[in-house]
Structure 1
Amino acid sequence: MMFPLRRLAIIPLCLSLLACTASAADETPASVKAAFASKFPQHEVTSVQPAPVPGLYEVVVKMKRGGREEYTIVYADAKVEHLLTGDLIDTASHKSLTEARLDELNQVKFDFAALPFDKAIKEVRGKGERKLAVFSDPDCPFCKRLEQESLSKLDNVTIYTFLYPLAQLHPDAPRKAEQIWCSKDRTAAWTGVMRNGSKLPAGKASCATPLAELAKLGEQLGVEGTPALFFANGKMIAGAVPVETIEAAFKAK
């Protein structure tokens, strides 16, 4: 049996299931882990703890996704006779406890200072004291929105753009990325195309590009789509977020 890497559709907790999962005194997270391992030896369980719902246990399973490890959660009764996949919802706050826990488990950890900035397009605005790395695709409409509506409004910032063309979505993006990287002024070429609607630099790309290396780096960092923003304080945000969100991320600790 394989488990989804993220959540399935919301599944209500059945009272009949909960009624038959009251744990005995000798049932512990360790015994649940052992029972789970005996039934699903192909999965690596990293932790088991009581779930917020009496009678259920949260089982954290390590999975492989692309080039990085990722965790998923299933809920089990004490004897692992039943499994529940889906979101555990707090009805008071209307928030998914499962989603919050998965976000905690799968938080991308990276060393900002170790990023290969020599393989990025560098733009310095003002004093450039604040640092931001962005994985971006020249054919991605959300990347253009981020550039036009958010990044263009930042000041006192150094933006490192890592070209990350998603060929499966935008077949011509790798060619455009090569054109931009091989231009005489990469920063001007990038901002012109993404913010001002300028045409690509003329001529055929004729230089070595870091696209293959950046594809591996993005995979290691868990970049699944563009744009993806990485901050020097260890924060990562995905999507064309408003400038207020970026400013808040700069201030976060």
Structure 2
Amino acid sequence: MIKTLKALGCVTFTGFLLVASLSAPHAFSQSGDLLKRKSVEDTILENLRKARPDINFGQPRPSVIKGLYQVQVPGGPVLFVTPEGDKFIAGEIFGIDSTGFSKIEDPYVVEERKKALASLDGKSSINFKPKGKTKAVVYVFTDIDCGYCRKLHSQMHAYEEGGQTKPGYNDLGIEIRYLAYPRAGIPSPSADKLISTWCAKDKQDAMTKLKSDQSVPSATCENPVAAQFQLGGQLGVSGTPALFLPDGKLVPGYMPPEDLAKNLGI
């Protein structure tokens, strides 16, 4: 049976716009001599920037599909581009085998994610730690108003579902480290709520209150919201919640606590 390929999450409106707008036809004229003088990466980046000068495209590099190059659109999809830079496919890569379909992630990209997250100051994220031993740390790019972000947060500790009490993320030894990703961009009411959260005296309490539709005092201070929003786009975040596992893999959407623990091997 083919499993669904759609993750449960709140997608950025800009992500939809990027796919739609990038799909419009554009004409490119490249002479043979010009292609010889330029590297493939330079040609691809030049053509993309000519077509959409308003987008800060990532650096092209060979993809896991032979003959195509991949380019990350910050806050949008990964583009798989021809060496000539005249065509692209937007989406994800899946492997096909006897067990079904499985998402394939570029090892280089996964390693870059690990490095980027490892370099973060632990004080810049809002952390929810287990009372006992931490078995795994998961970074979560979050938005205050996202429905699945709220559901994830409501299951930080033991919760009721289907007449049963189930263990939450912290109960299972999973530490959640929140990073800010306002889906509406900056400036926006979503960003303001996140800034107030990061500037609150009790950040954990402010996060919990806002995600349960309670109010907290508006606040401003020197904060990492804009930097984290930019980082999310660079790492391939296009919606929330976006979970980054210790091995660098991205889970684009909500995952129940017990499923996440199983995925982490704990």
TM range (shorter): 0.5 to 0.7
1:72 match: 80
1:26 match: none
Q: What CA distance in whole angstroms lies between the structure 2 residues aligned with 1:88 and 1:222?
A: 16
* Residue 47 to residue 72, structure 1, CA distance change in 2 (3 Å): closer
- AA aligned opposite 2:194: A
- AA aligned opposite 1:61: Y
For normalisation by structure 2, the TM-score amounts to 0.58
1:64-213 matches, within 5 Å, as 64-66=72-74, 70=78, 72=80, 95=101, 100-101=103-104, 103-104=105-106, 107-109=109-111, 110-111=114-115, 112-129=117-134, 130-149=136-155, 153-154=168-169, 155=171, 156-168=173-185, 171-194=188-211, 197-202=212-217, 204-213=218-227
Asked if the contact 1:70–1:106 (Cα under 8 Å) also holds between the matched residues in 2, the reply is no
Asked if the contact 1:134–1:159 (Cα under 8 Å) also holds between the matched residues in 2, the reply is yes
Number of equivalent positions: 200
SS of equivalent residue, structure 2 residue 110: coil
Shift of 1:108: 3.4
Asked if the contact 1:230–1:237 (Cα under 8 Å) also holds between the matched residues in 2, the reply is yes
Q: What CA distance in whole angstroms lies between the structure 1 residues aligned with 2:222 and 2:142?
A: 19
Asked if the contact 1:163–1:177 (Cα under 8 Å) also holds between the matched residues in 2, the reply is yes
Shift of 1:234: 2.6
Per-residue CA distance 1:141-177 (angstroms, 9 max, x = gap): 1211222246761222322111221225994111111
Higher RCO by CA contacts (8 Å cutoff, separation 6 or greater): 2
SS of equivalent residue, structure 1 residue 125: coil
Asked if the contact 1:45–1:59 (Cα under 8 Å) also holds between the matched residues in 2, the reply is no
Asked if the contact 2:139–2:245 (Cα under 8 Å) also holds between the matched residues in 1, the reply is yes
Q: What CA distance in whole angstroms lies between the structure 1 residues aligned with 2:263 and 2:219?
A: 36
Q: What CA distance in whole angstroms lies between the structure 1 residues aligned with 2:127 and 2:79?
A: 34
Q: What CA distance in whole angstroms lies between the structure 2 residues aligned with 1:180 and 1:85?
A: 38
- Alignment root-mean-square deviation, CA: 4.3
Is 2:230 aligned against 1:230? no
Q: What CA distance in whole angstroms lies between the structure 2 residues aligned with 1:89 and 1:124?
A: 35
Shift of 1:115: 2.2
* Residue 68 to residue 91, structure 1, CA distance change in 2 (3 Å): closer
* Residue 125 to residue 47, structure 1, CA distance change in 2 (3 Å): closer
* Residue 127 to residue 114, structure 1, CA distance change in 2 (3 Å): farther
How many percent identity over aligned positions? 24
Asked if the contact 1:231–1:249 (Cα under 8 Å) also holds between the matched residues in 2, the reply is no
1:28 match: none
Asked if the contact 1:124–1:157 (Cα under 8 Å) also holds between the matched residues in 2, the reply is yes
* Residue 175 to residue 113, structure 1, CA distance change in 2 (3 Å): same
